[in-house]
């Protein structure tokens, strides 16, 4: 699967207001986007983990720290199953 790079400019004062360090901004913003897309049910749990660059346990902990419920439904299960089928056991 190909990755697409999206460049955005974020003013330093916005990063400061959001308590995001300039050094970690790309990773932190990806996590926030993943959390938002998961919360709004746009991405499944598995895809949100993938976007965030976090494993499932760490993403689950992050979501919990933001009071985002972990509704794991059939779509999430199917996404996880498809991911597992791609792994040679």
Examine the pLDDT at 89 and tell me if it is beyond 70: no
Residue 5 lies in a domain: no
Residue 3 lies in a domain: no
Task: Quote the pLDDT of residue 75.
Answer: 77
Per the CB < 8 A criterion, the answer to whether 41 and 72 are in contact is no
> 53 is in which domain, residue-wise?
12-85
Residue 33 lies in a domain: yes
Task: Report pLDDT digits (tens) over 30-82.
Answer: 999 999 999 998 998 889 999 999 999 999 999 999 899 877 677 767 877 88
Q: Alpha-carbon distance 62 to 51, whole Å?
A: 14
Residue 43 lies in a domain: yes
Into how many domains does the chain fold? 1
Task: Quote the pLDDT of residue 72.
Answer: 67
Residue 6 lies in a domain: no
Residue 1 lies in a domain: no
């Amino acid at each position: 699967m190909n990755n697409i790079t999206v460049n955005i400019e974020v003013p330093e004062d916005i990063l400061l207001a959001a308590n995001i360090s300039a050094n970690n901004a790309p990773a932190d913003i990806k996590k926030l986007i993943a959390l938002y897309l998961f919360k709004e049910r746009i991405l499944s749990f598995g895809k949100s983990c993938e976007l965030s660059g976090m494993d499932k346990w760490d993403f689950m902990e992050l979501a919990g720290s933001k009071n985002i419920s972990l509704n794991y439904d059939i779509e999430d299960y199917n996404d996880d199953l498809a991911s597992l089928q791609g792994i040679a056991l």
